[in-house]
A and B are shown apart, each in its own frame.
Chain A
């Protein structure tokens, strides 16, 4: 059943964001034409339109996904969602996964657009750029090529995790705004509660890092779990890099707690209007 829920929720999401992606496709087509025609003015305007489109995709995706979750969980469509013979946990997980997927896709599109625009405007090939970064004497003295690659992978994983974590924060915010007495604020409540949860999660992570500062030490030879200042110094001495771990881990735990809180609220407190 979970697979069917996810399939249908992705379909709902696709329907909500399809218009945004269609506009991006049109902007891309205009860019492609300008590239072929080699028209500077068209190239300039289509580049601006493309970047605006990429940012708009992220913002509009977030807004439409919030609306979609609200409608299908707590609006009229909730009458169907909550009478399906599936566990509440599966319902919440499916909504979370769909939100995560679409927001992540929009961010991926944004990053890809920025990188693409850089090469499009500068005329430099991606291969040349990466090669010059990696082979730069100055940089290679500071950070090893392998360390740089591992840090990039760690940061990419952290980004994926944080998109997932924030998606759950927002689902909690939407849910809370449908529970009395919090529902008094209406749709604005969704924004306020989501914002408070995101900020709260961030500071919870920071607070936890002060109590137990766990990090990943990246060296040319290995990845290490480090917890002391001496260990950090040793990593830096080896031309390695340090990435924080506690805050991310704490936010994952916080998001999991909120997942169960959402289930509890749906099963105990939510009354569909």
Chain B
């Protein structure tokens, strides 16, 4: 059913110089799912997310988000959390909240301010004087205060300690907008296995697995086992 598809990718290829990162991949992802984008480092996860968020334009193939080519419309409906800190270092949480409030019509300022209280952040403390964990919390509260159709989260648990991981995951799962889709890239399969209802595994620029968690479990396997199996095979064939 075409209407149920939030992300449609056809024959997508992307290379950096001679390095082919995504190699003629095609897939559909359905609306309303929590999708794990899995793969080892360098498998093309970040590149795929950047293409979906409209940051990379020079690729071959077709990419559609909710039937639209990437552009203003898709940026308005997509909440993107990159791996890096993308806020100006002099920004304070209150500045960042006002900035998002200016540009995203789906941004809930009251919810963001509530997050600031919950995270025990000082709304007037400059980002540059915050720890990495606090900076990530600020970015996360900005993203999770939007009612986006699609959330693209690139390694949201990458730089945080195991204790904070559970909290961040809990915030993501409890606060994303109803009926929206969450595409979350990670290589921490173990931590997130219970959260996904669909997985897309990339390796060597190819889609290795695109299936529901139900199907994986019906084979009597865990996501981690499948991950090790297919990624291991991909490395071996290399």
Interface residues of A, Cβ cutoff 8 Å to B:
1, 4, 7-8, 12, 15, 71-72, 76-80, 82-87, 180, 267-272
CB of B99 within 8 Å of the partner chain:
yes
Which A-chain residue is minimally distant from B16 (CB atoms)?
A: A271
Nearest B residue to A16, CB-CB: B90
A12-B88, A76-B85 as given contacts; A271 in contact with B78, CB under 8 Å: no
Question: 13 more A-B contacts (CB under 8 A) besides A7-B102, A83-B55?
Answer: A8-B99, A15-B90, A76-B85, A76-B86, A77-B86, A79-B82, A79-B86, A83-B53, A84-B75, A84-B103, A268-B58, A270-B57, A272-B50
CB within 8 Å of A: which B118-143 residues? none
Nearest A residue to B53 via CB reads: A83
Interface string of B50-90 (1 = CB under 8 A from A): 10011111100000000000001101101010101111101
Residue of B nearest to A71 (CB): B88
Shortest A242–chain B CB gap in Å is 47
Task: Provide the residues of chain A in CB contact with B85, threshold 8 Å.
Answer: 76
The residue that B103 contacts in the complex, of A1, A87, A180, with Cβ under 8 A, is: A1
Q: Check A85–B86 contact: CB distance below 8 A.
A: no
On whether the beta carbons of A77 and B17 are closer than 8 Å, the reply is: no
Q: How far is A198 from B45 in the complex, measured between Cα atoms in Å?
A: 40
* Interface pairs A-B: 5 shortest CB-CB: A85-B76, A79-B86, A80-B86, A85-B75, A4-B102
Inter-chain contact count A-B, CB under 8 Å? 59
Contacts of A79 in B (CB 8 A): 55, 80, 82, 84, 86
- The residues of A that contact B55 with a CB separation of less than 8 Å are 78-79, 82-83, 271-272
Structural contact, B58 and A82, CB atoms closer than 8 A: no
| Given contact pairs A76-B86, A180-B17, A271-B16, A86 touches B56 in the complex (Cβ within 8 A) | no
Closest beta carbon of chain B to A268's beta carbon, Å: 6
Chain A residues positioned under 8 Å from B88 (CB to CB): 12, 15, 71-72, 77
Set of chain B residues within 8 Å of A78, measured between Cβ atoms: 55, 86
Contact in complex: B53, A268 (CB < 8 Å): no
**Complex interface: chain B residues within 8 A of A271 (CB):** 16, 55-56, 58
Q: How far apart are the CA atoms of A72 and B86 in the complex, in Å?
A: 9
Known A83-B55, A83-B80: A4·B87 in contact at CB below 8 Å: no
With A83-B53, A84-B75, A85-B72 as given contacts, are A77 and B87 in contact (CB-CB < 8 Å)? yes
B54 touches A82 (CB 8 A): yes
Bound Cα distance A4, B101 (Å) = 10
**19 A-B residue pairings within 8 Å (CB atoms):** A4-B102, A4-B103, A8-B99, A76-B84, A76-B85, A76-B86, A79-B84, A79-B86, A83-B54, A83-B75, A83-B78, A83-B80, A85-B73, A86-B103, A268-B57, A270-B57, A271-B55, A271-B58, A272-B55
Q: State how many angstroms separate the Cβ of A110 from the closest Cβ of chain B.
A: 26
When chains A and B are docked, how far (Å) is the Cα of A110 from the Cα of B85?
37
CB of A265 to closest CB in B, whole Å: 10
**Chain A contacts of B53 at CB under 8 A?**
83
